Amino acid sequence: MRIAFVYDAVYPWIKGGVERRVFEIGRRLAAEGYEVYWFGIGWWGNREIEHSGIKLVPCYKPVNLYSKGRRKISEAILFAISLKRKANLNEFDIVDCQVFPYFPSLVCSRHKNLVLTWHEFWGDYWMEYLGYLGYFGKIVEMIVAKIRCKHVAVSPTTAKNLLEIGVKAEVVPNGVDIERIKRIKAAEKGYDVVFAGRLIREKGVDLLLNALKLLPDSISCLIVGEGADKKRLVEISKKLGLNCYFQNFMNWEDMISIMKASKVFALPSVREGFSIISLEANACGMPVVTINHPNNAASKIACGIVCDANARNFAEALLEAMEKKKKLRKMCVNNARKYDWDRITKKIVEVYLR
């Protein structure tokens, strides 16, 4: 069976949750004998290459995906146009297109065995994200939702939001590589609190910093990530006098090693489509402290403590998680085991073959 994945950002050149999902599922499918292609932006160059068994096909030149912390509409349109011109998707038995940023989904819409994978459903959030331009985004999202195909949601939260507009989606979640995590040794140095993610307003790192200010000065925090808000967040941390360290994104093994040596993972955002890193933290034995919000799918997936979105409650939850880490450790690891990538791959194949 020939399977085509469609998503502009490609792992490991771009390290996000969507990219990780396609890579982890794709390489497992390839190992099982399926012929797997990934149509994306050519971060590696302008020729087709093979990576971990997946044939990577460049459809457009490398460009900045974000402007001022937000996805660029122009990039999504140009990638979709190039995809239509360069990819003969009718040659494939299955096309699995990641819905965001929408325009590629429209290009794929006529394929007879199309799977649209939803990582989030934004609805009215479009207006908050883009202002008046959000009306355009909301309309495009609704058009994609009406495409007749197999719809997959990565979380029950997204599936519920889709059902509210009449779209039935099967939940096939993201996962973690349990066996690989087991083999990685803990780092020599750990931290009381760890955050990893894009440093943009939506991730809520401001809330984390304000919560840390309410904790004892001895509490250490590592913030791993890059983004439009990094300089501002570093300045806030210095101004507040926090015992806080900032690092750019690091390779996956190093991140796991640090989490194994640390106490608590912080996820202060109110909007998460899934959060693979939270499950990986669980697999390392770390409880996750996150926000109680209907758009935060991680609050119903990760094991840890859920609290209200204010600095005092978040600070109290961090302290509680640190105190209870030994008691929560086994629960966290068992929770992560339910999301092993091998299980997830078998489930998506079942969807493909229906």
Instruction: Give which of 13, 172, 6 is closest to 94, Cα–Cα.
Output: 6
d(CA 94, CA 142) in angstroms, rounded, equals 23
Alpha-carbon distance values, 103 to 17, 73, 84, 258 (Å): 19, 9, 10, 38
Look at residue 68 and tell me whether its pLDDT is greater than 80.
Answer: no
Q: What is the dihedral of CA 32, 33, 39, 44, to 10 degrees?
A: 80
Burial class (CB in 10 A: 0-12, 13-18, 19+), 266: buried
CA distance 22 to 57: 14
* Interval 94-143: pLDDT, tens: 999 999 999 999 999 999 999 999 999 999 999 988 888 899 999 999 99
Query: The pTM is what?
Result: 0.93
Q: Report all structural domains of the chain as residue ranges with CATH numbers, in order of start.
A: 2-175+340-353 (3.40.50.2000), 178-337 (3.40.50.2000)
Q: What is the pLDDT of residues 168-219, one digit of tens each?
A: 999 999 999 999 999 999 999 999 999 999 999 889 999 999 999 999 999 9
How many C-beta atoms surround the C-beta of residue 290 within 10 A? 29
Phi, psi of 252 (to 5 degrees): -60, -45
Helix axes 17-31, 341-353, angle to 10 degrees: 80
Selection from 242, 262, 258 nearest residue 250 by Cα = 258
pLDDT tens, position by position, 291-317? 999 999 999 999 999 999 999 999 999
